[in-house]
Chain A
């Protein structure tokens, strides 16, 4: 039961308070999401470009490539991810928690860092190849499968398979007849998420794919910023938005129908591996996970220290961070890009974006929870940016604010605003479940003890969201640090964030400039780890 759902209206939070809580989100979304989308639609319609777009053979090729690479990435991720999902969800062993945490690492890394890591790792022959893109996609998304499928797998009673075995099913047959059908909802869910991510892949493809392998996202960016085909880019953006929106809606419906289909009990006990064979399987899987995840990150660092002639030195690190003052005053000769400044730009934008998304997301979560069932529309509205690709968000903002009287596209605030738009849904998704989990009888109890609805709400709801808000803030900070798709449209000279600077440096000739790119990628990876580690640590401390 939702809060307020069944209680008489006099016991509910006053409408004015709810409206005040919802207002920032509504204004924010209307101004920076809905209006940009409308602006894109207008560009798409008025430019008479719909017809041109339909007959554009190059675009058809891009759509075909985007689809099959996403499908193949999804299949490969499932194939690679199911074994670790099984080992980590069914067995108990020393170090299981560490390996589980390690699997999540690639997923929290910024896409640009993942791209850079594989650029560093893979031989030049694989540079700018489809294989490189696929490998990076698998690396990035393996956590989705391990978490999604493993989360259900650890709830499947192991005795279901044992029962099938005693009835005469061999191991393969039991897997096909019992385990896989029961895991199907989680497999389908994970596959959909991976497909969505790889279909809208941008950062990884920009760095690894080169001009020969554009996905739809890269194509939108290229047409809009490089070729000046704003109309065509708008048509493609809107078409993609509609298709993705429908896909997400369909997916959400399937999920809600499937939930509670089987009466599974929470968490069956994990067993210790028994016998040499099980131990070998567990050990091999864990070793493979550790190697697969640490090697690209190690390569990233190694390349940051590589100097010309195959030697290693800290020249690039010194060029970026040594004598800060000098660097600030003297941007690299080859460009107007200042590597160390991008670090501070990123940190500044991170703070602003985090503050905005925590305030907007926190308030709107409180409003949605207080509205009970009526909050569904608001909930869906807040989630819309999540179903929209970052490129579309950045492109929309540029188009919407490029004409007088509101020519804000060069305003520095646009970048953190874009980041906040991407991050707010995550804050809501972290905070809202906690609010919804509050037993409404708690508020009833407070009321019978003499607390007015507002007072009860302050004493109960406002108390419980502090922890989740902190977690949400951590996610928002990590998202802002790594955001690339929207930023790529909004960035201006002298205002490059870390991901932008990394992408530019890695695309330049010259060992030192590339090494500087790897330095920044290493720094960005470390910063993201630090943020996530603080969040996890705080969460652990709260539980204890």
Chain B
């Protein structure tokens, strides 16, 4: 269970998150809705440990993450513009998190093949990520995040910048892939339809904070 408790963050004196609280049950996929600039990304970054909160806490299965650095949290994140490592191939990108967890080579290879099939790109392992189309890159980013089976997956507007048809198709695929992985996920979007497709539950960010 992921719990966000009364988290506040201010940038240069301007409150971006104001006492935000949110709870996700195990295996639950929640869509977090809000207009751009409303602090959705900031909340994900606080959960991932990329930005320290000014106050409040993030708990995972009852343990505070306040003093746990990002790389020990086992919280995966799909970034808005994928952030695939440009100097590595598709397979090496997906394998990255497994190497960090010291998986053996054979197990890594098997897992990469499994994920490439899951995202429908079975022959893409040796490709350079700079040669991928927009939709392919987004699939690979999802696979890379899911590969080490993180306890929570955060998705930061992972489907923006796609044309309508591809967007809808990928939204459905993402929903299916997250269900198949059975993972707890927080999906940030500004698109209510996308949220409805991907998530079990939709919450709006402006309902989470305590307004002064």
Contact = CB atoms under 8 A, between A and B. Distances in A.
Contacts of B96: 164, 167, 169, 177
A173 B130 contact: no
A16 interface: no
Interface string B43-87: 001001111100000000000000001111111110101010111
A182 B85 CA distance: 9
Nearest to A263: B130
Interface in B3-21: 11-12
B97 interface: yes
A275 B145 CA distance: 28
A159 B83 contact: yes
A159 to B, nearest CB: 5
B86 A182 contact: yes
A163 B12 contact: no
A165 B74 CA distance: 10
Contacts of B50: 162, 165-166
Given A159-B79, A262-B87, A263-B86, A166 B52 contact: no
Nearest to A157: B83
B31 to A, nearest CB: 20
Contacts of B83: 157, 159-160, 162-163
B70 to A, nearest CB: 4
The bracket for how many chain B residues form the interface is 20 to 34
Contacts of B45: 162
11 contacts: A159-B83, A165-B70, A166-B50, A166-B70, A166-B77, A166-B150, A167-B144, A168-B74, A169-B71, A177-B96, A274-B51
A264 interface: yes
A119 to B, nearest CB: 44
Nearest to A265: B81
A272 interface: yes
Interface string A467-511: 000000000000000000000000000000000000000000000
A364 to B, nearest CB: 37
A45 to B, nearest CB: 48
Per CB-CB distance, the 10 closest pairs between chain A and chain B, nearest first, are A168-B100, A167-B97, A262-B86, A165-B70, A163-B83, A166-B77, A159-B83, A168-B71, A170-B71, A181-B87
A263 B101 CA distance: 29
A266 to B, nearest CB: 14
B76 A182 contact: no
B148 interface: yes
Contacts of B73: 166
A165 B87 contact: no
A178 interface: yes
A168 B148 contact: yes
A262 B130 contact: yes
A282 to B, nearest CB: 15
Contacts of B52: 274-275
Contacts of A166: 48, 50, 70-71, 73, 75-77, 145, 150, 154
Given A162-B77, A182-B87, A264-B86, 14 more contacts: A162-B50, A166-B70, A166-B145, A167-B76, A167-B97, A168-B97, A168-B100, A169-B96, A171-B71, A178-B85, A272-B12, A274-B51, A274-B52, A275-B52
Of A165, A166, A177, most B-chain CB atoms within 10 Å: A166
A262 B72 CA distance: 29
A411 B163 CA distance: 72
Nearest to A168: B100
Contacts of A170: 69, 71
A159 B48 CA distance: 12
Contacts of A272: 11-12
A160 B100 CA distance: 15
Contacts of A174: 71
B207 to A, nearest CB: 27
Contacts of A262: 86-87, 130
Contacts of B150: 166
Interface string A242-275: 0000000000000000000011100000001011
